[in-house]
Structure 1
Amino acid sequence: MVQASKRASTCPASGIRAMGALAAGYKNVLNLGIGEPDFNIGANVAEAMKKAIDDGKNKYTPTAGIAPLRAAIARKLKRENNIDCAPESVMMSNGACGAIMTTILGVTDPGDEVLLPDPAWSNYQGQVHTAGCKAVFYPLLEEHKFHVRAEVLERYITPKTRLLLLNSPSNPTGGVTTREELQEIADLMKKHDIAVISDEPYEQLLYDGAEHVSIGSLPGMQDYVFTANTFSKTYAMTGLRIGYVQGPVEIVKSLCKLQEGMGSCVNEPSQWAAIEALEGSQDYVEEMRKTYAARRKILVDGLNSLPGVTCLAPEGAFYVFPNISKHGKSHDVAIDWLKRAQILSIPGTAFGAAGEGYIRMCFAVSESTIRETISRLSGILTEGSIPAR
C-alpha cells in the first residue's frame, strides 16, 4: 500500500484553516479569521486582465515572467522601496508564498537552520519543513511592540544558520520594525553572512505615521536580501495568485530553474493586470488604507473596552493581536468565542508558541461586522467570566 512520505505526513497544518473548518458548523458567524481584503480589485486592473484575454495574451510565459512586468516591478522597487535593481533580478511567482518557498529552496540545503519570527504566518514553518531545514524561532515581544530586535535575533544564531525570514508589517501582530532596528539587523546578518527573505505584503498598509523600510535598501544588503511581495493585499488580487521575489541576479536565475519544475510560470493575464495595478491610478489603494484605518480604530477601541482584554494599536497590516491571557489559553478562548458568540478569530498559538495569550482578528471586514463583534463579546465577557488567578 502506498503511503505518504514523511515530508508530507509530518508537515505542519495551518491552524487558520482548522479554525475555519470548525466555524463551518455554526450559523451567523462573524468571520474575523481570514486575512483577505473585502474589496474587489480596481476596475482598471480588471479591465487590463480582460483585455489581455481578449487579445490572446493567455499563453505560457518565460518562467521569470513577462519582460514588461519585471521592468515595472524594478521601477516600483526604485520608486517606493529605494531598491535600485535590474529587471533581471526579478522573478514572478505564485503569490509571495511561491516566491518564499522557491527562495528557501534556492539558498538553503537540508539540515540548515532558518530563523523564523514567532508569532508569524504559519505557512513559513511548513515551507522550511518542506525544504528539509530546521526552523529556529525568535520571539516577537509585546514589550517591544512586536518589532524584530537584533539583540534577540543574535541569541538564536548558530554556525548552521543560513537564512533569516523577516515580515514587517507583521502578520499577525501588525508590528512595523523601524529603520534603526533594521539597520542593526542588517549589520548582524552581514557579520554572520546570513541571507534574508523580507516578506513585505503589507507595505502599503501603515497607520499613525509608521514608516515601512525594505531591509534590501540598506547599504551593503543587496547581496544578502530577497524581497518578496504579492499583489494580494495592496491590490486585493488574492485569487489571481501573483507575486514576485527580487534578489541577486545570479541566484534569481537559479530560482527560475527551481520554479520551472514546480509551476512553470505565472498565468499571463494576471501579469498584464499586475502592470496596470502598479502603474495605473493608486486612488483605490489609498481609499482602502483609509477605510482600514477607520475600522482599526473601531476594533482597537472596542477591544480595549472589554474586561480582561488589552490591545496594542497595530502600526501596519490589517490585524489586531489583543492580549486575552486573563481569559485563558488562546485556543480555549477562540473556541469559546466561536461557540458562545459565533465569532471566528484565530488563536495566537496558530502562529507559534509565543502567540500564547493572544488572538488574531482581521479588520478587513465591514464596519458593521466589527461593531457587532464588539457587541457580542461585550455580552459574554463579563467580569465574572475572567478566571481567578
Structure 2
Amino acid sequence: MTLPPADPLTARLSERGKDLAVVLAVAAVVVGGTFWSMRGKSETFWQAVTGWVIIALACGALYFRRRWPVGVALFTLAACAVYYPLSVYDGPVLVTFVIALYAAAAEGRFVAAVAIGVAVMLMIVYGETQQGSDHRHVDDAQFMMLAGWLLSILVLARAQRTRAAYLEEVRARALAAEREQEARAQQSATEERLRIAREVHDVLGHSISLINVQSSAALHKLGKKRTTDDPVAALATAEAALEAVKSTSKDALGELRSTLGMLRGAGEAAPTAPASGLAQLPELAERARSAGLDVRIVTQGGARELPPPLDLAAYRIVQESLTNVTRHARATAATITLDYGTDDLRLRIEDNGAGAPDGIGGGSGIRGMAERARAFGGELTTENTADGFRVMARLPFETNQGAR
C-alpha cells in the first residue's frame, strides 16, 4: 500500500477549506433552526441582537477548532450557557458545542474532552436540582439521551483519532519501504557498475599491456634491422611479435564482446563464445610468453569443476596478476599454482621481478582482485619475496555470496 506524501501547502489549503466548509454548514443549520424556532415567539431587540451575535461567534469559533480544540470547546460551551438562558427562541446553538467537543477528542485531547462532557452533565444535573419538580427543562429521558449523545460523540472521535493514527503509520511505513527500495536499487546499480568496470579493466588491461610490450618489441627489432648484420632474422622476430599483437588483440576483442554481452537488452542473442575460466589458463600463459614472460602452471590436489562465477573470478585474478607482472615487475618468469583443497581453491602467482616498493600492491588492479575474492567469502594477500612478488588468494567452494 503506497501513500505518497501530501504537499504541505496543498494540505494546508485543503484543511482550511474543510474548516470553512464546516463553519458554513453548521451556521446554515443553526441559523435555519433558529428561524424555525422563532415561529409564534417574540423577544426584545437587544435579546435578538445578543442572540445572533452569540450564534455568529459560536459558529465562527469552529474555524479554529483544529488549532485550539479545547479552547474552542470551552468557548462554544460558554456561548451555549449564555445563549439559552437569554434567548426566547432556543435555537440549535448546541450543535456548535457538539462539533467542538468532537474535534477536541479527535485531535488527541480525549481526556480534556471527557472532562468537559462530564462537566456539562454535572452542570445540567445541578441546574435541574435548582428548579422545582414542576419546572424541569430536561426530564429523565432527555437527560439519558443527552448523555448517550455525548458518549457517542466521544467514542466516534476516539475511533477517528485511532484511524488517523493508523493511516499515518501506514503512510510512514510505505515511505520508509519506498526509501529502502530506492536505496537498494541505487546500491545494486552501484555494485553492477563496479562489477562491469572491474570486468572491463581486467579484460582490456591485460590485453593492452601485452600488446604494448609486444609492439615495443616489434619496433625495437625493426630498429635493429637497420643496424644489424642479420636484418632477415630481426625482421622475422618483429613479424613474430606483430603476430602476437594480432592474436592478443583478437582475444581481447572476443573477451570484450563477451563482457559487453552481459549488458545486452532483453531479446538479444546471448554471446556464443565460451565464458572465461581456468580452462583458458594455457592460452593466457601462451599470450604472456609471447611478451617474453616465461609462465609455468602448477596444479596441486584434485582438479574439480567450479561454478561459473567462481571459475571466472579465479581466472580474472590470475589474469590481472600476469598483467601487473608484465606491466610493472620487469620479471622474466612467473609461476601460477592452483591448489585444490577440500573446501577452497588457493591461487598463488609468483614472479622473479622487482616487487612492490612497500611490499603491498596498489592500484585498481589489486583492489579489483581483492574485491573478487571477498565477494566469494575469501581473501587476497600480496607480499614481496626474496625473488620477487607473490599474490595469494583463497576462494571457498561453498558460499552464498559471489552470485554476481
Question: TM > 0.5 between the two?
Answer: no
TM-score category of the 2 structures, normalised to the smaller one: under 0.3
TM-score, length of structure 2 as denominator length: 0.20
Higher CA-based Rg:
2
Q: With CA pairs under 8 Å and 6+ residues apart, which has the higher RCO, 1 or 2?
A: 1
Structure number with higher helix proportion:
2
